[in-house]
Amino acid sequence: MTEIRAEITANVWMVNVEAGQVVAEGDELVILESMKMELPVVAPAGGTVAEVHVKPEDHVNEGDLIVTLS
pLDDT at 58: 97
Please give the class, per CATH, of domain 2-69: mainly beta
Distances (CA, A) of 44 to 23, 27, 54, 58, 70: 10, 8, 18, 22, 12
pLDDT at 62: 96
Residue 31 three-state SS = strand
Q: Where are the domains of the chain?
A: 2-69
Would you say 14 and 51 are in contact if contact means Cβ atoms under 8 Å apart?
Answer: no
pLDDT under 70: residue ranges of the chain: none
pLDDT at 16: 97
pLDDT at 21: 97
